[in-house]
């Protein structure tokens, strides 16, 4: 067991990272949509979005560090930082590396938001829509537990959650645009 401790830690931290980052994406979309209810103010969504994102950094770090120092694969640090440089499962690991680096870019620019300005920050923030799916594909492609029933359920749940949030956002944007067009035309027809 003890010689496999790192390996189990890698797997566990990867799964927790997936769940946390899924929550982060969903909360980010919920912030953008401006959803709120009487029990759930908007700042709560935004603050959870931020805090869970910061928490996920710790789990991703554990996931990466334990997989590098685990002697079983002897990946080396280059494999963890340079996409597609790993001899071991080159493609799947490479996608994970890209996902991690995009996520890191999104988080660092968010922390420096005040200094780099809103436009740069927003632009980089859109990368989340690339980072999250890459992470999912990485997990599905190379995760040791990827085809276990419980893990399929977790992955399916995560994809479903983000998928629904994206549809929700597109629908909200569309109806907002329609409302804006009607407002801009200003042709209120009172007799209809």
Residues that bind another protein (CB under 8 A): 31-32, 34, 41-43, 46-47, 113-114, 117-118
Q: Which residues, including other chains, have CB under 8 Å from residue 57's CB and lie 6 or more apart?
A: 104, 107
Choose between 32 and 137: whose C-beta lies nearer to another protein.
32
Choose between 34 and 177: whose C-beta lies nearer to another protein.
34
Residue 165 CB, shortest distance to another protein, in Å, is 16
Residue 76 CB, shortest distance to another protein, in Å, is 39
Choose between 42 and 89: whose C-beta lies nearer to another protein.
42
Residue 176 CB, shortest distance to another protein, in Å, is 11
Choose between 25 and 97: whose C-beta lies nearer to another protein.
25
103 in Cβ contact with 87 (< 8 Å): no
Residue 30 CB, shortest distance to another protein, in Å, is 12
Choose between 2 and 115: whose C-beta lies nearer to another protein.
115
Residue 179 CB, shortest distance to another protein, in Å, is 12
């Amino acid at each position: 067991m003890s010689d496999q401790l790192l390996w189990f830690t890698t797997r566990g931290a990867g799964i927790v990272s997936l769940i946390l980052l899924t929550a982060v994406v969903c909360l980010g979309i919920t912030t953008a949509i401006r959803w709120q209810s009487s029990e759930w103010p908007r700042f709560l969504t935004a603050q959870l979005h931020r805090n869970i994102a910061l928490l996920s950094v710790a789990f991703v770090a554990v996931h990466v560090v334990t997989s590098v120092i685990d002697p079983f694969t002897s990946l080396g640090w280059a494999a963890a930082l340079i996409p597609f440089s790993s001899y071991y499962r080159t493609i799947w690991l490479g996608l994970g590396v890209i996902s991690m680096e995009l996520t890191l870019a999104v988080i660092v620019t968010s922390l420096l938001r005040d200094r780099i300005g809103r436009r740069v920050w927003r632009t980089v923030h859109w990368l989340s829509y690339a980072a999250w799916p890459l992470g999912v594909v990485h997990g599905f492609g190379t995760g040791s537990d990827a085809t276990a029933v419980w893990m399929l359920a977790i992955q399916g749940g995560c994809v479903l959650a983000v998928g629904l949030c994206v549809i929700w956002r597109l629908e909200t944007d569309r109806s907002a645009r329609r409302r804006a067009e009607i407002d801009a035309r200003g042709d209120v027809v009172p007799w209809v």
